[in-house]
Amino acid sequence: MSKRELIDYICEINKGARPEFLANFSEEDLKSYLENLMELDLEKLAFCC
């Protein structure tokens, strides 16, 4: 996944994230952050149902 794709996915989950800010981070940092966001998103879904 490209850096641009990572940023797009992060912005879909975290509506408050700004692409300009995220662009300052490495691809590896963005991957890690996206993984954390996805885990939190799944946990939130589990508690809602």
Question: How far apart are the C-alpha atoms of 47 and 11, rounded to whole Å?
Answer: 22
Question: How far apart are the C-alpha atoms of 31 and 36, rounded to whole Å?
Answer: 9
Q: Which domain holds residue 39?
A: 3-48
CB atoms within 10 A of CB 38: 13
Q: DSSP state, 27? A: H
Which pLDDT tens digit goes with each residue over 1-49?
Answer: 999 999 999 999 999 999 999 999 999 999 999 999 998 866 666 666 5
The model carries a pTM of: 0.81
Question: What is the number of domains present in the chain?
Answer: 1
